[in-house]
Amino acid sequence: MRRRMTLSLGSAAVLAASLAVAVTAAPAVASPGLLAAMQRDFGLTAQQAETRVGQELAASRLMPVAREAAGAAFGGAWFDPALGKLVVGVTDLAAAAPVRQTGAVTVPAGISAAALDAAKAAVDAAAKAKPAPAAVSGWRTDPRSGSLVVTLQPGAHGDDVDAFLDTARRAGPVTLAEAPRPRTVSAGTVGGDPYYINGNTRCSIGFSVQGGFVSAGHCGGAGSSVVGWDGSAMGHFAGSSFPGNDYSFIRIENGWWTAPVVLGWGTVSDALVRGSWVAPAGTSVCRSGSTTHWHCGTVLGLNETINYEQGAVYEATRTNVCAEPGDSGGSFITGDQAQGVTSGGWGNCGSGGETWFQPVNEILGVYGVSLVTA
């Protein structure tokens, strides 16, 4: 354990001397390994990857300011990589000027984000009272189309699906999409660099927090024991929630300690963690897990509901980053900003797919813990 973590901290110390935090400029704020993964998965040059990370960090920090400037006219926001800027929808053109003064780009929106969120909340409430049909993969708000997007499994039909869609349409405008049903991505015991729950389930560490680390809730229930990658006793689940949510807090013991890094598993350099600014839709994001290591993609949407076989999980973030069994609980990070822990998805890292994560800030608030940061 100590040998592996010492290597991680050594690389982190080297990175600390070379990385600069930027708010509005474009210098790199991510590890060389993460930037290399972005180059591979997005087809970027090194300079383009550095520039994009800087722009995305600026957009993440700008988003709450732009939302406040828009007021009741706020129609959602997303990062546009072609523009390198945050785009904000506004339902009232009078709000466009103050939003543009923050540095964001504005576009007209047909419905406010508050109205879309309320529509989704109504569908969530209905699903909690009566579980959604298995043929419904999930539902989300989409500020770019100004609608609730309900995702159905290919070929889905039936009275139960029609009834669910009727409920959604009563709540707000609906757009239909097709995708396979997501699944959680925990796994049985195999070789690699995992943590194990009760000796027979493998998941991945999310982020170090004061007193332990956070991960996915479906990996284990409260009280479950945990051993580390080296087989030594690591600690136990101090809290866990799944379904409804998909997060957990594992309290570490027996000499284990925390570090403000996301491991590169020997494939790329470790990434420093400096905070948890929320990345808007359109932003790049990279995932680290014990099965498939580093992969990058894009944040596709926030506050989405996933309809797993075990039940719905709410307020998740959807990405087009791939994942496979054993990656559950692993880290999603944009630049040096923690985003969330891997929940589940569909597809794999050979053919592609989509993966959802539970936002880290919600987990920190629920368990009253703070990130360990560089």
Residues 6+ apart with CB under 8 A from 307: 127, 132, 134, 136, 137, 138, 139, 181, 182
Contact indicator for 149, 175 with CB cutoff of 8 Å: yes
Bridge partners, 139 (sequence order): 150, 305
Tens of pLDDT, residue by residue over 219-228, are: 999 999 999 8
Residue 184: the pLDDT is: 81
Residue predicted with more confidence, 32 or 165: 165
- Catalytic, 270? Answer no
Query: What is the pairing mode between strands 105-108 and 85-90?
Result: parallel
| Per-residue tokens: 233 | 């006793």
Nearest to 312 by CA among 117, 161, 158, 139: 139
- Annotated catalytic residue, options 193, 246, 270, 327: 246
**Separation CA 25–CA 250 (nearest Å):** 37
pLDDT (average), residues 117-133: 96
CA 374 to chain CA centroid, nearest Å: 20
pLDDT (average), residues 213-236: 92
Nearest to 63 by CA among 341, 366, 282, 293: 282
Residues 6+ apart with CB under 8 A from 350: none
pTM for the whole structure: 0.82
Tokens 């944009």, located at residue: 334
Residue 26 reports pLDDT greater than 50: no
Query: Cα–Cα–Cα angle for 72, 302, 204, nearest 5°?
Result: 150
The residue type of 369 is V
Three-state helix/strand/coil letters over the chain = CHHHHHHHHHHHHHHHHHCCCCCCCCCCCCCHHHHHHHHHHHCCCHHHHHHHHHHHHHHHHHHHHHHHHHHHHEEEEEEECCCCEEEEEECCHHHHHHHHHCCCEEEECCCCHHHHHHHHHHHHHHHHHCCCCCCEEEEEEECCCCEEEEEECCCCCCHHHHHHHHHHHHHCCEEEEECCCCEECCEECCCCCCEEECCCEEECCCEEECCEEEECHHHCCCCCEEECCCCCEEEEEEEEECCECCEEEEEECCCCCCCCEECCCCCCCCEECCECCCCCECCEEEEEECCCEEEEEEEEEEEEEEEECCEEEEEEEEECCCCCCCCCCCEEEECCEEEEEEEEEEEECCCEEEEEEEEHHHHHHHHCCCECCC
Q: Cβ atoms within 10 A of the Cβ of 8, count?
A: 17
- Annotated catalytic residue, options 248, 290, 328, 343: 328
Bridge partners, 358 (sequence order): 341
Instruction: Give me the phi and psi of 99, to 5 degrees please.
Output: -70, -45
Share of the chain above pLDDT 90, in %: 74
- Catalytic, 328? Answer yes
Residue 10 reports pLDDT greater than 50: no
- Catalytic, 218? Answer yes
**Separation CA 107–CA 76 (nearest Å):** 10
Nearest to 62 by CA among 77, 80, 45, 81: 77
Lowest mean pLDDT among 123-127, 252-256, 263-267, 333-337: 263-267
**Separation CA 249–CA 236 (nearest Å):** 9
Residue 147: the pLDDT is: 97
Query: What is the pairing mode between strands 174-178 and 147-152?
Result: parallel
Lowest mean pLDDT among 20-29, 102-111, 121-130: 20-29
- Quickly state the pLDDT bin for 32 (edges 50, 70, 90): confident
Residue 263: the pLDDT is: 78
pLDDT (average), residues 146-156: 92
Q: Cβ atoms within 10 A of the Cβ of 64, count?
A: 12
Residue 187: the pLDDT is: 54
- Annotated catalytic residue, options 218, 248, 269, 336: 218
Lowest mean pLDDT among 164-173, 229-238, 331-340: 229-238
To the nearest whole number, what is the mean pLDDT of the chain? 88
Share of the chain above pLDDT 70, in %: 89
Residue 356: the pLDDT is: 98
pLDDT (average), residues 137-143: 96
pLDDT (average), residues 242-270: 86
Residue 1: the pLDDT is: 35
